[in-house]
Structure 1
Amino acid sequence: MKSIVGKILRGRYFIVRELGKSNASITYLAEDRSKSEHQQCVIKQLQPQISSFSLKSEPQLWHNLEKLFITEAITLKRLGKHPYIPQLFDYFEQEKQFYFVEEFIEGQNLEAEVQEHTLNEAEVIELLKNVLKILDFVHQQGVIHRDIRPSNLIRRSDGSIVLIDFGLIKNLTLPINNSPADPPTVVLGTLGYTPPEQMEGNPHYNSDIYALGKTAIFAFIGSLPNSNLISANPLSQVEKIDLAGLDFSTRLTTILRKMLEPNYRDRYQSAVEILTELEREENVITLPPPFIVSPPYTEIPPRISKNKQQLAWKKILVWMLLILPFIGALLLLFAGLEKNLYRNFALYINNQYNLEIRYPENWSFEELEDPITGEVVVFYSPLESEADIFQEKVSVTVEELTEDLSTLDEYSERITDSLASNKDATLSIYSQQKTKLAQLPARSLLYSRIENGINLRQMETFTIKNDKIYIVTYTAERAKYSKFLDTAKKMINSFSLTKI
């Protein structure tokens, strides 16, 4: 395919220079001459693997390819609504070539950044969280990226990460007829980052998770980790990633090892599972141990003189004067942290059930007395637009504990069994874990379901006190679950029980 640098496409897009090339496409930097400021954009010229002879002899092939092109463009348009995915501005066909026009993302890709300096563990965790939130959205749209790697992650000047170069456009480069000359599978992705099942032409959503795990390690050490190949088949080489010697914490090593499981069935099944693991210990402040002052050992005499008693009290008074400012500073620090953490939050108090919870000032709430569900109050996020079909919400429920259930484990098991035996085929349980609610032992359950045609994700956190079960539930559209998760966690962490 000849270079088109210097040409003008569609009477408006001036091709400035080539940015990159692959078997699937050639990417160019372009200027939109129809805009007053000649807005920069990215032009992707696709390279369908169909010979001119095939197009002439079988006109239906070109018709099928056009339909696939439009379908892919619609998908890219939908993905581009995410703030950290490039927008699709335009798409067209010219001289039997297909073109996408996308937003130009200014910044430095991760591969170039790591060449200058590698990331520390905290930065790697932040990178994982940012990309996982994007992948959660992408996968909810029914799309597998298929080419997660450092050069496809761009860091903007504000530090945000943008995911580019979606592998779905490579569908357009695959042979679409079924002649014997066609290869049975075409491997998409980048060697070194592509998992075994994708190498065999059978990618899954968690194929992206595998590639992200490899990317995280590259960001930390500046190169790909060592692998032990167990199969001689080049399309099914099972890689056992060697994480020994990497200076990761035990917690992050465990997460990465599961992300990099060679068998996709043993891997994390969703981006949200990893986000839950990474964020499990957020908002936990670990204080140093308290100062303990022990006087030197002396034998206690039969009687203590008045002077010695006065001296002992003076020592106690001195130590109190020394410690009190430290305690006061800690109290001020905690007060300041809580004030900043819950800035622009209001306090909801329910005296009937002796509970309190903080909620964002721009959220609304509705108090209920639902004898069936036990819901006490529901907090609703503001509508984002007239087209917003579901308001994300956090609800508080109080139920009486039945006689056959006396412990948190028994209630948790009852809820899990009830969900597992539910005949609703749309319901999927993701995880259950131990946590805290109102400073009491609690359980958190994460699952998804479909209600009135809307894909929902729900996180229930519950605890028991005085024969009552207290449940705080966060419910959101699956595509927006990550967007409101931090706010929901703050609300859950602020929940408290008073006068009980």
Structure 2
Amino acid sequence: MVRFRREARAASGVSHRGVAHVYDFGEAEDRHYLAMEYVEGLSLREVLRHESLSVGAAVALASQVAAALSAAHERGVVHRDIKPENIVVTGEGHAKVLDFGLAKLLEAGERVGARAEPAPAHATLDSAPGLIMGTVAYMSPEQLRGEEVDARTDLWSLGGVLYEMVARRRPFEGKTPADQIAAILHAGPPAVNADGRATEELNRVLGKALAKERAARYRTAGEFAREDDYVAVRRALD
């Protein structure tokens, strides 16, 4: 409970228009809870289910999520469960990050956080309480291996979300959860096609965001948003 309060308090301190505000937290009937801002709109999962996003729209949403994550990371908070279900697209087309229930507070000056339990071969694609911290399909290699997490863990998940928005499929798939875990750990994502415009730059951005080793990824969410190739993608689509 002490850790929950500490981490919930940290999440409540994140102030950014792209983050659903945490109003209250506590315990009731032996369960922890977070009271969060109600955000009107559709989850990104619902959006993807009903329409195909243009590459420009996908890049714009990813940029907004990166800005929200940057604000959280500056407060020492790592989300740990970035996925389409935890991103709401408002009626104005703005992205808002929800559900810091799995968030991890990093100590002052700390670049990495707590260890996560390794994902078992039989894990489902949904969160498995007590076994893994996150959703397998969007978990980084270090999360699956039970290693320490940091800001680059969230950026890996965001890379997976951007890939899915553009390609209409996840970057790593398998017939079974075990196959999917193996793909995340060992396979590279198939190249995406941006209709001939900025395809090369977009694939470089995705390849760096989804690098197996954190040292090869973007160091910060701000760096991700300012990446030359990423900027080139946006300019090519204007």
- For the criterion TM > 0.5, the same-fold answer is yes
Q: Kindly indicate whether the alpha-carbon contact (under 8 Å) linking 2:80 and 2:102 is maintained by their aligned counterparts in 1.
A: yes
- For the pair 1:70 / 2:5, whether they are aligned, the reply is yes
**2:190: which partner in 1?**
242
Structure 2 residue aligned with 1:275:
225
**Measured at CA, do residues 239 and 282 of structure 1 come closer, stay the same or move farther in structure 2, by a change above 3 Å?**
closer
Structure 1 residues 207 and 167: CA distance shift in structure 2, 3 A: farther
Quick check: 1:191 aligned with 2:126? no
Instruction: Specify whether residues 199 and 73 from structure 1 end up closer, same or farther in structure 2 by C-alpha distance, changes over 3 A only.
Output: same
Shift of 1:91: 2.3
1:255-274 alignment, distance < 5 Å: 255-274=205-224
**Structure 1 gap segments, 5+ residues each:** 1-64, 172-182, 287-500
1:126 corresponds in structure 2 to: 60
Residue 258 of structure 1, CA deviation? 0.9
**Equivalents in 1 of 2:172, 2:136: separation in Å?**
14
Looking at structure 1, the residues matched to 117 and 25 of structure 2 have their Cα atoms a distance apart, in angstroms, of: 29
Tell me, yes or no, if the aligned pair for 1:195 and 1:211 is still in contact at 8 Å. Answer: yes
* Cα distance per residue 1:474-495 (max 9 Å; x no partner): xxxxxxxxxxxxxxxxxxxxxx
> Does the 8 A contact of 1:144 with 1:167 survive in 2?
no
Contact 1:187/1:200 (8 A) holds in 2: no
Paired residue for 2:51? 117
2:152 is equivalent to residue 206 of structure 1: yes
The within-5 A match list for 1:18-33 is: none
Q: What displacement does 1:244 show?
A: 5.4
Show the 5 A alignment for 1:87-166: 87-166=21-100
The answer to which structure, 1 or 2, has the higher relative contact order (CA under 8 A, 6+ apart) is 2
Aligned twin of 2:128: none
Query: What is the alpha-carbon distance in structure 2 between the residues aligned to residue 69 and residue 167 of structure 1?
Result: 9
TM-superposed deviation, 1:106 = 1.0
**CA–CA separation in structure 2 for the residues paired with 1:283 and 1:264:** 27
1:154 Cα shift?
Answer: 0.3
SS at match of 1:218: helix
Deviations 1:393-429 (A, max 9, x none): xxxxxxxxxxxxxxxxxxxxxxxxxxxxxxxxxxxxx
User: How many angstroms apart in 1 are the aligned matches of 2:66 and 2:23?
Assistant: 25
Separation in structure 2 between the aligned mates of residue 82 and residue 69 of structure 1, nearest angstrom: 21
Q: Is the 8 A contact 1:225 1:243 kept in 2?
A: no
Q: 1:262 to 1:82 in 2, by over 3 A?
A: same
Amino acid at match of 1:101: A
Q: Identity of paired residues, percent? A: 25
Select which of 221, 236, 259 maps to 2:167: 221
1:126 is paired with a residue of what secondary structure? helix
Q: Secondary structure, in 3 states, of the residue corresponding to 1:119?
A: coil
Distance 1:98 1:226 in 2: 33
- Residues 172-221 of structure 1: per-residue CA shift (max 9 Å, x gap): xxxxxxxxxxx965421212211111111222211111111111121123
- Which whole-Å CA distance do the structure 2 matches of 1:244 and 1:160 have between them? 24
Give 1:188's aligned amino acid: M
Summarize the Cα distance change of 1:201–1:184 in structure 2 as closer, same or farther, 3 Å threshold. Answer: closer
Provide the aligned C-alpha RMSD in A: 3.1
SS class of match (1:162): strand
Cα deviations by residue, 1:43-95 (Å, 9 ceiling, x for unpaired): xxxxxxxxxxxxxxxxxxxxxx2x2232123112102x222212222223233
Residues 298-333 of structure 1 deviation map (CA, whole Å, 9 limit, x = unaligned): xxxxxxxxxxxxxxxxxxxxxxxxxxxxxxxxxxxx
Q: Which amino acid aligns with 1:223?
A: R
Using the TM superposition, give the Cα deviation of residue 112 of structure 1 relative to its aligned residue in structure 2, in angstroms: 0.8
Q: Distance in 2 between matches of 1:113 and 1:252?
A: 21
- The TM-score with structure 1 as length reference comes to 0.38
* 1:179 equivalent in structure 2: none
Aligned to 2:121: none
- The structure carrying a bigger strand percent of its residues is 1
- Whichever of the two has the greater Rg, that structure is 1
Distance 2:142 2:25 in 1: 32
Conserved? CA contact 2:192–2:199, under 8 Å: no
Mapped to 1, the partners of 2:134 and 2:217 lie a distance apart of 19
Taking the aligned partners of 1:126 and 1:195, their CA distance within structure 2 comes to 23
Task: Flag the 1:119–1:96 CA change in 2: closer, same or farther, 3 A.
Answer: same
List gaps (5 residues or longer) in structure 2.
106-115, 119-130
The count of corresponding residues between Structure 1 and Structure 2 is 206
